[in-house]
C-alpha cells in the first residue's frame, strides 16, 4: 500500500541536519535564563479548557478562533496555545507561590493554535518563555526585558527593535474603555462581526484585530497612554529610566495592546522587519491580576515568550552562527567477521571516553564503507582486516590531512587515540591563531601576543 500520509498543515519536521540550530537556541535561552536566576519548569501539553478561557480571555483571538479542543470521555481539554496559563496553574497547584519571592521559572515548549499557516505562523510552534512572580516593581520589568535582549544579542541577532507600552491597570482601563466605545460608536456597523461583540465586552481587543477594515477604523482611536492613572504612569516612567540605565534602546508604541487578556501595565514586543509580516519574535508584559483570577492570592507577575521558529528564521536570514554539529570522530572500516568484532570492542571503549565511534552495520564492502565514512564527515578512519588483527596494530588516518599514524590495538588504544585526537585539535587551534595574527590590524591596544612593537600581549 502506498504511504502518502503527509504531515498536517502548519506543522514542521526538524531533520537531523538542522537540529543543531534548535540546540543553539535552546542552549543560549536556557543558560541566559539561568544566569538571571530562572529555573526550568515542565508542564502538561494539554490543560482543562477552562484554564485558557479564564486566563487568556474569552474575547481574544486565541480563545475564540485558535484553540485545539478535544473531548476525551466527558472532559474537555485544550492543547496549550501558550505557556503562561499552564505555568501559573502549576505554580499555584504546587505551592511555589508560598515560597520565597520572586519565583522565577522558564520553559521551552510546543504550542498549538489553529491559525492560517504562513511563514512564521504555524499551528504547532515552539516558545521559549519565562514568568517571574512576586514583584510589582518596574525594576522587575526592566530585568525581564534585559534578559530577552541578552538572549537576542547572544544569538547574534541584530536590528531588532524593542517597543514598549503601558496598558494600565483595571482602573485606567475603565475610563479608556469608555473613550474607545465612544470613538467606535459612529462606525460600529463597519466593524467585523467579532469586533462588534468586542465593542461591548472588551473594546481594547478591536485594536488587535487583524482585519484591515477594523485596522483602518481604529487608526485614530484614543491611546491608552493618555488614560493612565498616576501609579501606572510612574511605573512606566521608572521602567524607561531603568532601560536607559541598562543601555537598552526602546521606542514607545502606544498601539501595542497584546493578544492576550491578562496583561496590565507594561507590555512589550521585540520586532524585526526582516522576516516579513510575522516579525514579532518576542512578546510579553506584566499580568498583575492573573494569579488572583486563577484562584490564588494577589501576586503581581510578569513574563514573556519568544517564538523559536521566528528566531530561527531571523538567524538564518542574518547568517548567525550555530553550535557546531557533532560529527563522527572515528569510523572503523572492517573486512571479515573477526575485524567486525574487534571494531565493536574498540568503538565500545572509545564511546566510554565520550567519542562518537561508528563501524559498518550494513555489511558493505571496504570501498563502500570508506565512501560512507567520507559522507558522514568522519574525522578519522581505521581499516581493520586479517593483517591488522594478526599484527595487533592498524593505521589511523586523519581524513582531513590524509596523515596516517600506526596505533597498537592493545589496552592503551583509547589513550593513544586520545593523544592523536588532542594533537589534531591543537594543530587546528594553532592554525586559527596564526590566521588571526596575519589577518588583524595591529594597534596600540593590540594584545595578540605577536612580536610587533605595538603588541602588549
Ligand atoms: P501574533 O501577533 O504574531 O499573532 P501573538 O500576540 O499571538 O503574536 P503571543 O501569544 O504573545 O503572540 O506569543 C509569543 C510569541 O510566540 C510571538 O511573539 C511569536 O514569536 C510566537 N508565536 C505566536 N503565535 C505563533 C504562531 N502561530 N506560529 C509561530 N510563532 C508564533
Ligand atoms: Mg496571534
Taking the CA of residue 123 as reference, the ligand 1 atom at the shortest distance is: 27
What distance in Å separates the CA atoms of residue 257 and residue 280, rounded to the nearest whole number?
13
Contacts of 274 (CB under 8 A, 6+ apart): 159, 314, 317, 318
Q: What is the rounded average pLDDT for all residues in the chain?
A: 93
Q: CA-CA distances (angstroms) from residue 94 to 87, 89, 101, 262, 345?
A: 11, 9, 15, 21, 48
Whether the predicted pLDDT of 444 surpasses 50: no
Which ligand is the nearest neighbour of the Cα of 307?
1
Tens digit of each residue's pLDDT (9 = 90 or more) over 202-222: 899 898 888 899 999 999 999
Residue with CA closest to ligand 1 atom 4: 259
Least confident range from 68-82, 158-172, 428-442: namely 428-442
Whether the predicted pLDDT of 447 surpasses 60: no
Pocket of ligand 1 (CB under 6 A): 82, 113, 115, 120-122, 125, 127, 258-260, 278, 280-283, 305-307, 309-310
Which ligand is the nearest neighbour of the Cα of 269?
1
Q: How far is the CA of 415 from the centre of ligand 2 (A)?
A: 55
What distance in Å separates the CA atoms of residue 393 and residue 160, rounded to the nearest whole number?
57
Q: To the nearest 5 percent, what fractions of the chain are helix, strand and coil?
A: 45, 20, 35
Residues 290-311 have a mean pLDDT of 96
Convert 274-292 into a string of H (helix), E (strand) and C (coil).
Answer: CCCCCCEEEEEEECCCHHH
Predicted confidence band at 1 (pLDDT cuts at 50, 70, 90)? low
Predicted confidence band at 452 (pLDDT cuts at 50, 70, 90)? low
- What is the pLDDT, as a whole number, of residue 257? 85
Which ligand is the nearest neighbour of the Cα of 113?
1
Q: How far is the CA of 380 from the centre of ligand 2 (A)?
A: 49
Residue with CA closest to ligand 1 atom 23: 307
Whether the predicted pLDDT of 439 surpasses 60: no
- What is the pLDDT, as a whole number, of residue 153? 98
Q: How far is the CA of 313 from the centre of ligand 1 (A)?
A: 14
Predicted confidence band at 438 (pLDDT cuts at 50, 70, 90)? low
Residues 168-192 have a mean pLDDT of 92
- What is the pLDDT, as a whole number, of residue 427? 87
- What is the pLDDT, as a whole number, of residue 421? 95
Pocket test for ligand 1, best of 62, 125, 151, 266 (most atoms within 8 A of CB): 125
Pocket test for ligand 1, best of 64, 106, 122, 280 (most atoms within 8 A of CB): 280
Residues 116-123 have a mean pLDDT of 96
Taking the CA of residue 281 as reference, the ligand 1 atom at the shortest distance is: 20
Q: How far is the CA of 274 from the centre of ligand 2 (A)?
A: 19
Taking the CA of residue 260 as reference, the ligand 1 atom at the shortest distance is: 10
Least confident range from 3-17, 40-54, 187-201, 377-391: namely 187-201
Q: How far is the CA of 30 from the centre of ligand 2 (A)?
A: 24
Residues 382-409 have a mean pLDDT of 97
Q: Which residues of 276-290 are buried (b: 16+ CB within 10 A; e: fewer)?
A: eebbbbbbbbbbbbb
Predicted confidence band at 455 (pLDDT cuts at 50, 70, 90)? low
What distance in Å separates the CA atoms of residue 457 and residue 444, rounded to the nearest whole number?
11
Predicted confidence band at 262 (pLDDT cuts at 50, 70, 90)? confident
**Stronger pLDDT, 202 or 160, i.e. the higher one:** 160
Q: What are the cell numbers at 103? A: 519565583
Predicted confidence band at 457 (pLDDT cuts at 50, 70, 90)? very low
Residue with CA closest to ligand 1 atom 20: 307
333 within 8 A of 370, measured Cβ to Cβ: yes
Q: Which residue has the cell 541598562?
A: 246
Report phi then psi at 320, rounded to 5.
-70, 160
Q: How far is the CA of 62 from the centre of ligand 2 (A)?
A: 7
Q: How far is the CA of 201 from the centre of ligand 1 (A)?
A: 23
Report phi then psi at 345, rounded to 5.
-70, -40
Residues 7-13 have a mean pLDDT of 98
- What is the pLDDT, as a whole number, of residue 277? 87
What distance in Å separates the CA atoms of residue 454 and residue 445, rounded to the nearest whole number?
8
Q: How far is the CA of 210 from the centre of ligand 1 (A)?
A: 13
Residue with CA closest to ligand 1 atom 22: 307
- What is the pLDDT, as a whole number, of residue 64? 87
Residues 376-381 have a mean pLDDT of 97
Tens digit of each residue's pLDDT (9 = 90 or more) over 409-424: 999 999 999 999 999 9
Cis before 92 (ω within 30) = no
Q: What is the largest CA-CA distance in the chain?
A: 95
* Nearest of 15, 254, 244, 249 to residue 152 by alpha carbon: 249
Amino acid at each position: 500500500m502506498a504511504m502518502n500520509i503527509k504531515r498536517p498543515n502548519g506543522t514542521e519536521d526538524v531533520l537531523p541536519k538542522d537540529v543543531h540550530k534548535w540546540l543553539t537556541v535552546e542552549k543560549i535561552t536556557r543558560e541566559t535564563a539561568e544566569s538571571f536566576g530562572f529555573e526550568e519548569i515542565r508542564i502538561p501539553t494539554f490543560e482543562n479548557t477552562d484554564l485558557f478561557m479564564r486566563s487568556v480571555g474569552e474575547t481574544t483571538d486565541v480563545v475564540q478562533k485558535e484553540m485545539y479542543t478535544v473531548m476525551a470521555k466527558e472532559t474537555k481539554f485544550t492543547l496549550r496555545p501558550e505557556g503562561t496559563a499552564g505555568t501559573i496553574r502549576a505554580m499555584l497547584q504546587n505551592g511555589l507561590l508560598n515560597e520565597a519571592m520572586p519565583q522565577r521559572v522558564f520553559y521551552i515548549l510546543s504550542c498549538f493554535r489553529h491559525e492560517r499557516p504562513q511563514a512564521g505562523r504555524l499551528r504547532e510552534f515552539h516558545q521559549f518563555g519565562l514568568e517571574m512572580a512576586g514583584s510589582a516593581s518596574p525594576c522587575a520589568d526592566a530585568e525581564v526585558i534585559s534578559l530577552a535582549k541578552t538572549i537576542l544579542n547572544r544569538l547574534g541577532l541584530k536590528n531588532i527593535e524593542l517597543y514598549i507600552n503601558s496598558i494600565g491597570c483595571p482602573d485606567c482601563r475603565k475610563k479608556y474603555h469608555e473613550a474607545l466605545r465612544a470613538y467606535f460608536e459612529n462606525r460600529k456597523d463597519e466593524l467585523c462581526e467579532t469586533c462588534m461583540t468586542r465593542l461591548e465586552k472588551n473594546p481594547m481587543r478591536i485594536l488587535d484585530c487583524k482585519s484591515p477594515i477594523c485596522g483602518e477604523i481604529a487608526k485614530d482611536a484614543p491611546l491608552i497612554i493618555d488614560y493612565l492613572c498616576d501609579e501606572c504612569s510612574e511605573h512606566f516612567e521608572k521602567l524607561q529610566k531603568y532601560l536607559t540605565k541598562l543601555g537598552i534602546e526602546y521606542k514607545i508604541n502606544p498601539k501595542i495592546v497584546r493578544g492576550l487578556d491578562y496583561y496590565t501595565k507594561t507590555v512589550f514586543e521585540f520586532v524585526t522587519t526582516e522576516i516579513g509580516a510575522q516579525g514579532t519574535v518576542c512578546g510579553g508584559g506584566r499580568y498583575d491580576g492573573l494569579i488572583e483570577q486563577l484562584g490564588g492570592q494577589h501576586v503581581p507577575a510578569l513574563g514573556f515568550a519568544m517564538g523559536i521558529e521566528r528566531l530561527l528564521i531571523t538567524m538564518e536570514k542574518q547568517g548567525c552562527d550555530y553550535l557546531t554539529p557533532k560529527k563522527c570522530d572515528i569510523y572503523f572500516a572492517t573486512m571479515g567477521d573477526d575485524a567486525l568484532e574487534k571494531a565493536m570492542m574498540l568503538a565500545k571503549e572509545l564511546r566510554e571516553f565520550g567519542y562518537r565511534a561508528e563501524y559498518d552495520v550494513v555489511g558493505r564492502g571496504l570501498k563502500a564503507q570508506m565512501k560512507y565514512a567520507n559522507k558522514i564527515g568522519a574525522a578519522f578512519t581505521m581499516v581493520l582486516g586479517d593483517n591488522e588483527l594478526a599484527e595487533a596494530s592498524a593505521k589511523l588516518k586523519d581524513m582531513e590531512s590524509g596523515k596516517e599514524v600506526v596505533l597498537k590495538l592493545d589496552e592503551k588504544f583509547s589513550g593513544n587515540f586520545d593523544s592523536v585526537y588532542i594533537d589534531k585539535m591543537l594543530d587546528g587551534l594553532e592554525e586559527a591563531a596564526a590566521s588571526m595574527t596575519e589577518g588583524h590590524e595591529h594597534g596600540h591596544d593590540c594584545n595578540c601576543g605577536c612580536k610587533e612593537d605595538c603588541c602588549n600581549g
